[in-house]
Amino acid sequence: MSEDTFMGVPRNTIDWKPTIDYEKCNYCMECFDFCPHKVFKKQEDDPIKLIVENPLNCVVFCRACSKTCGLDALEFPNKVEVTKKIKETRSGVASGE
């Protein structure tokens, strides 16, 4: 269902997903309600009520959920690094490595 590739490289080689800082998260679920890609999952009966269930569904470079978080409890990888990595992977793929 999610794109299998992004910028011509396999999605599962790209490390792009939100990380929940449980020290800050108050389980308001704004990010869960917002994300249409089902990246997050609610766990009603668990003390940890929210997890990142489908990291590969996360749209690479999208950080929209973090803008709904008043507590800054969502972190994303560094874009520049990720881009660098994608470019490396891509040249690797192209040269048939």
Partner 1 sequence: MSEKYAVLPCNGLDKCAGQVAREIAQIVCENTENELICPVFYRVSDARYDKIAKENPLLVIDGCATRCASKLAGEKGLKIFRKMTVTEEAQKRGAPLAVAPLRLGAAELALGAELAAELVKEEAADASVDSGVVYPVPEEYIIHKKDKFIFRVPPEGFYFTENDCWVQPVGNRARIGITDFMQQSLSDIMFVTPPTVGATIDQFDEAGTLESGKAVFELVSPVSGKITAVNTPVLNAPELINENPYEQGWIAEIELTNFAEEQEFLLDAAGYLKVLKKKADEYHAGKKQG
- Enumerate binding residues for partner 1 (CB under 8 A): 1, 3, 6-8, 21, 24, 34, 36-38, 59-64, 66-72, 75, 78-80, 83, 86-87, 90
Nearest Cα neighbor of 52 from 24, 19, 11, 28 is 19
Written as six digits, the tokens of 39 are 């990246």
51 or 62: CB nearest partner 1? 62
Report the C-alpha gap between 10 and 59 in whole angstroms. 13
Which 3 state secondary structure label does DSSP give 76?
coil
Smallest distance from partner 1 to CB 73, Å: 9
45 or 80: CB nearest partner 1? 80
52 or 89: CB nearest partner 1? 89
Number of neighbouring beta carbons within 10 Å of residue 69? 20
